[in-house]
Amino acid sequence: MTVRLSPRDTAGPSSHDRHWRAGTVQAVSPAGTLDLGPGYLEPGLLPVDLIGEAYAVAAHRFGAAALSYGDNQGALPFREAVAARATALEGLPCGPENILVTAGSSHGLHLLATVLARPGQQVLVERTGYDFGRAVLRDCGLVPRSVATDGDGVVPEALDEALREGAGQVAFVVLTPTFHNPTGTVMPLRRRIAVLEVAARHGAVLVEDDAYAELDLDGTGVPPSLAALAGHRGVVRLRTASKVLGPGLRLGWMQADPAVVRRFTAHGLLVSGGSANHLCSLAVQTLLCDNTFDLHLDWLRARLAERRDAAYDAVADQLAGVVEVRRPQGGFFLWLLAGQTEKSLVDRASAAGVVVAAGSRFGHTEVAAVRLSYSFTPPPLLRAAVTRLADAWKGTS
Ligand SMILES: Cc1ncc(COP(=O)(O)O)c(C=O)c1O
């Protein structure tokens, strides 16, 4: 059980593509299109064999404990592994008492919305931000309220004003400071400190949705997380395996002050069912405990960097003067701003056989915008898609 296939051997074109169809996966691309819509990894980047082997190793290593109800807070070996990783990467003292295992960030957000909030309360969100996160909040009876952002993330003065106006009504604030979805923005250190100061002044809880934290594709580093800067005080950080291993794992974790974590372990859902996704967490723990996960991550970052460069270079070259774009340091997305209407951008792209995500899906945008995801399409097809977009948007196709 000790032999490990390297990520290079295990990822790559999947032999299971025939199963990538409606009824098995959440969404399939329209036939014949180049789909730059999905915010997730393409099939060939999902480490199917690596995960299969990790499950086998976990069953062998943990025996019957792998099939029991998991500890309400999450299996200790997994919590120790992710806490040690947080400490190593950020120098932030983090132990298993700071971790609560979730079934992904969406589940973490749902838990927060039910445990830390009362229906009818507001949740402050970035004016342009992760759309499905807002849907989770609404489902729990909460009212997302937008706060202005600029090229560096949420504007501290606007956050201050929203917290003042919403005094007593704001359950928490949700931000994605690193490799933002959809804009790709990384909030600079000075802005992070200013945002933390504003939140602390109002006693507001910041939820740091850090789904893309480990996808620094240039390796130039990002500022410390809000959780690290605050020593977890007043910050709950949501992490997920979805963007680095695969969303089908439904595995994530919350990183917070132990007193906050304890509020969740008495939650009926966890008391009744134990930790979310117990066996999966033990399988991923086996990857974290040797250097297999890091090898995989190096491999994945290199593949994503190829895709980011292919998409960005093609846009900068072929769509200069038509759209504005910033080269993202990491994450999955290019965010294009344009002089045309959003409808014209999306419709013309669609007529040319390219799916793009309309900017308004993510909230308010100053000018027409679309999101191109480079995580779901290999480099040659990304170039082909941008050529089609250039023809379509310049009106020559
Ligand atoms: C910012 C952000 N948060 C959360 C999620 C969902 O994460 P999970 O699959 O862990 O529920 C996504 C996925 O697109 C995302 O972009």
Dmax of the chain from CA atoms?
64
- C-alpha closest to that of 231 among 200, 191, 262: 200
Q: With H, G, I as helix, E, B as strand and everything else as coil, classify residue 343.
A: helix
Distance (Å, rounded) from C-alpha 21 to C-alpha 43? 12
Per-residue pLDDT band at 1 (split at 50, 70, 90): very low
Counting atoms of ligand 1 from 1, which one is nearest the CA of 40? 14
Listed in sequence order, the residues at least 6 apart from 384 whose beta carbon sits closer than 8 Å to its beta carbon are 34
Distance (Å, rounded) from C-alpha 85 to C-alpha 91? 9
Which residue would you say has higher pLDDT here, 224 or 29? 224
Strands 252-255 and 99-102: antiparallel
Question: Candidates 102, 137, 181, 255: which one to mutate for ligand 1, based on the most atoms within 8 Å of Cβ?
Answer: 181
- C-alpha closest to that of 378 among 24, 64, 43, 19: 43
Beta bridge partners of 22: 25
- C-alpha closest to that of 55 among 247, 294, 277: 277
Q: Do 20-36+293-393 and 52-290 fold alike per CATH?
A: no
pLDDT of 16 higher than 90? no
Q: Where are the domains of the chain?
A: 20-36+293-393, 52-290
Residues lining ligand 1, Cβ inside 6 A: 39, 104-106, 130, 133, 176, 181, 209, 211, 240, 242, 247, 252
Cα(137) to centroid(ligand 1), Å: 13
Cα(395) to centroid(ligand 1), Å: 35
Chain mean position to CA 145: 21
Residue range 172-187: mean pLDDT, rounded: 98
Q: Quick one: what percent of the chain has pLDDT higher than 90?
A: 89
Distance (Å, rounded) from C-alpha 382 to C-alpha 96? 41
Distance (Å, rounded) from C-alpha 218 to C-alpha 315? 19
Counting atoms of ligand 1 from 1, which one is nearest the CA of 247? 9
Counting atoms of ligand 1 from 1, which one is nearest the CA of 241? 10
Q: Residues 61, 62, 65, CA angle at the centre, nearest 5°?
A: 170
pLDDT, tens only, 55-103 = 999 999 999 999 999 999 999 999 999 999 999 999 889 999 999 999 9
Question: Candidates 110, 240, 373: which one to mutate for ligand 1, based on the most atoms within 8 Å of Cβ?
Answer: 240
pLDDT of 393 higher than 80? yes
> The domain 52-290: what is its CATH number?
3.40.640.10
Cα(394) to centroid(ligand 1), Å: 33
Q: Which CATH architecture has domain 20-36+293-393?
A: Alpha-Beta Complex (3.90)
Distance (Å, rounded) from C-alpha 131 to C-alpha 270? 27
What DSSP letter does each residue of 140-169 carry, written as one string? TT-EEEEE-EETTEE-HHHHHHHHHHTTTT
Question: Candidates 109, 132, 137, 180: which one to mutate for ligand 1, based on the most atoms within 8 Å of Cβ?
Answer: 132
What DSSP designation does 67 have? G
Cα(87) to centroid(ligand 1), Å: 23
pTM above 0.85, yes or no: yes
pLDDT, tens only, 349-363 = 999 999 999 999 999
Distance (Å, rounded) from C-alpha 89 to C-alpha 359? 33
Distance (Å, rounded) from C-alpha 383 to C-alpha 306? 11
Q: With H, G, I as helix, E, B as strand and everything else as coil, classify residue 232.
A: coil
Counting atoms of ligand 1 from 1, which one is nearest the CA of 251? 10
Q: Quick one: what percent of the chain has pLDDT higher than 70?
A: 95
Q: 3-state SS of 76-134?
A: HHHHHHHHHHHHHHHCCCCCHHHEEEECCHHHHHHHHHHHCCCCCCEEEEECECCHHHH
Cα(273) to centroid(ligand 1), Å: 23
